[in-house]
Amino acid sequence: MADPMTALNLRINGEERRVLSPTHHTLLEVLREECSLTGTKHGCELGECGVCTVLVDGQPVLSCLVLAAEVEECAIETVEGMQRGNELHPLQSTFADLGAAQCGYCTPGILLTAQALIADNPQPSDGEIREALSGNLCRCTGYHKIIEAVRWAAALERGEADAKPPSEALYGSPLPRISPPSAQEEDPRQEKG
């Protein structure tokens, strides 16, 4: 017996899409398999990793836990919809400029979660960024560059055109200056005689 099929009218990245899919398919499955929007990644299927995060009516949603039929009347945004014409979204450009993405598998979910955060809170603190991204796991980075990229993108979104990351974000912290030993100090390598 074939799976029962459902015809859906979905609004994805500002476009109306007519989709026919098995009734039991999640939003993740429909986005990837029926709509060919593979930017949304397939991770744990348990809602624990955040790689499948998309925005539904502007709010982060784990697409592996939602049936596609549940979001038929909603505005759905995937990572493919972030770009503004020919320009990258500030989050996309700051992630690239700072090297905040390593393998990139988790990046779409993090970008969309951060986009929702900045839309709700244009000037998030580092703690607020960490809290918002706490459901998005990254196995490659230490999250430091991700937080810097979100902070920088938030400044750009606020219109701070001259906003730049601290130089340490690009070049690392300066080495501590070591003074040469003073003439009065003994060099421990010299033998006492």
Q: Residue 128 sits in a domain of what CATH number?
A: 1.10.150.120
Q: Which domain holds residue 44?
A: 5-79
Task: Give yes or no: residues 51 and 94 share one domain.
Answer: no
- The amino acid sitting at 124 is P
Task: Give yes or no: residues 149 and 108 share one domain.
Answer: yes
pLDDT block averages, 10 residues each, the chain of length 193: 89 97 97 97 94 98 98 97 93 93 94 98 97 94 91 94 75 74 59 57
Task: Give yes or no: residues 109 and 65 share one domain.
Answer: no
- The number of distinct structural domains making up the chain is 2
pLDDT value of position 37: 97
Task: Give yes or no: residues 99 and 159 share one domain.
Answer: yes
- The pTM assigned to this predicted structure is 0.85
Instruction: Pick left, alpha or beta for residue 17 (phi over 0 → left; psi -120 to 50 → alpha; otherwise beta).
Output: beta
Task: Give yes or no: residues 96 and 49 share one domain.
Answer: no
Task: Give yes or no: residues 97 and 66 share one domain.
Answer: no
Tokens 């390593």 identify what position? 102
Tell me how crowded residue 7 is: count the other CB atoms within 10 A of its CB.
Answer: 10
Q: How many CA atoms lie within 13 A of 63 on its CB side?
A: 30
Distance CA(185)–CA(85), nearest Å, equals: 65
Tell me how crowded residue 175 is: count the other CB atoms within 10 A of its CB.
Answer: 6
